[in-house]
Amino acid sequence: MTMQTGETAALTVSRLTKTFDVSAPWLNRVVERKPRQLLQAVDDVSFSVPAGGCLAIVGESGCGKSTVARLVTGLYRPSAGDLNFANGRDGKTLRAQMIFQDPYASLNPRWSVKNIIAEPLRELKLRTGAAEITERVEELLRIVGLSPSDGEKYPHEFSGGQRQRISIARALASEPEFLVCDEPTSALDVSVQAQVLNLMRELQDRLGLTYLFISHDMSVVHHMSDRVAVMYLGRIVEEGDTEEIFARPLHPYTQLLLQTIPNVRTPNRDREPANGEVPSPLNPPSGCTFHPRCPLATARCSSEAPQIRTSSSGARIACHMVDVEE
């Protein structure tokens, strides 16, 4: 559906849905006569990630990006829909690893860096014997631009960017072919961000990795991805080749996101998108959920949800106001 001919998909996701039960406790519901409350965080989402490529998922906070990441890595079970991983180089189902936004929270502060990186090696029995493990840990530290002596230190002795390098080394220790990166550089300063992103690109080429890359930042997405899926309130509203989306964004939401790319000359300008914010998924707007913020909205947009359509060029878009050559 989203594939170019000749490409194989590392991951195909079909009609993925995740509903959270956010009801008050049973007794409160009975006493206060409140109904059960369900929150649709991901709603009928389909995409595929080309092997060796990078698909970015972009959208403002609360759009369901992290929930997709957690579904893909198996941290959550889908409420509906399917996830299909291709077979990896060893003939078994591809192994996916996740890199989180906050490396401090994902690294055990009481363990030395060497032990943190060695854990997956021991767990998966990828290396046995102290000498082999040490050798591999040192190699992984070098791969991410740290020095072998850093293995003796603890996470708090490093800067944010270095800590993210440690989490990357740890993720690579299990020899994954697929990495799910959830806002991996959002907590870092801009200059450090660029260094870590460049490292991730270099590793992708060198190790033949496939990335599902999640970000709220269009400039990061432009730098990293071959394809982009734009999410709004749990749904994909537009998906296509990165260059195409940046040159000709079709969906009004994609256009809104592009307006928020910071201008280098006015870096301190408020970067929050105009026209209000993402509504609560507990009480989503009728019809097209973007209609209250959309400059093009008509009566039809507030009553009828647009279906996602695929154009002859392979782009997908869900908007009543955009003509799609099918």
Ligand X SMILES: Nc1ncnc2c1ncn2[C@@H]1O[C@H](COP(=O)(O)OP(=O)(O)O)[C@@H](O)[C@H]1O
Name which of residues 7 to 36 contact Mg ion (CB under 5 A): none
Our CB check for ligand X shows the closer of 148 and 279 to be 279
Strands of 161-302, DSSP E: 178-182, 210-215, 227-232, 235-241
- Angle separating helix axes 130-143 and 160-173, nearest 10 degrees: 130
Picked from ligand X, Mg ion, none, the partner binding residue 281 (CB below 5 to 8 A depending on kind) is: ligand X
Residue 126 CB, nearest distance to Mg ion (Å)?
30
Our CB check for Mg ion shows the closer of 231 and 250 to be 231
Residues in contact with ligand X by the rule CB under 6 A = 20, 22, 39, 41, 59, 61-67, 281
- What are the start-end ranges of the H helices in 97-129? 103-106, 113-123
Residue 65 CB, nearest distance to Mg ion (Å)?
5
Our CB check for ligand X shows the closer of 69 and 315 to be 69
Our CB check for ligand X shows the closer of 123 and 277 to be 277
Residue 203 CB, nearest distance to Mg ion (Å)?
22
Residue 66 CB, nearest distance to ligand X (Å)?
3
The residue with tokens 């690294």 is 107
Picked from ligand X, Mg ion, none, the partner binding residue 155 (CB below 5 to 8 A depending on kind) is: none
**Structural contact between residues 122 and 167, judged by C-beta atoms closer than 8 angstroms:** no
Q: How far apart are CA 36 and CA 176, in angstroms?
A: 40
CA 178 to chain centre: 12
- How many residues at the interface with Mg ion, by CB under 5 A? 1
Q: How far apart are CA 299 and CA 52, in angstroms?
A: 43
Q: Which tokens sit at 270?
A: 């408020």
In order, the DSSP letters of 52-66 are T-EEEEE--TTSSHH
Q: Which stretch binds Mg ion (CB under 5 A): 64-72, 91-99, 110-118, 222-230?
A: 64-72
The only residue of 2, 46, 48, 66 in contact with Mg ion, by rule CB under 5 A: 66
Residue 319 CB, nearest distance to Mg ion (Å)?
24
Label residue 263 exposed, middle or buried (CB < 10 Å: 0-12, 13-18, 19+): exposed
Residue 215 parent element (H or E)? strand 210-215
Residue 202 CB, nearest distance to ligand X (Å)?
26
Picked from ligand X, Mg ion, none, the partner binding residue 63 (CB below 5 to 8 A depending on kind) is: ligand X
- Positions touching Mg ion (CB under 5 A) are 66
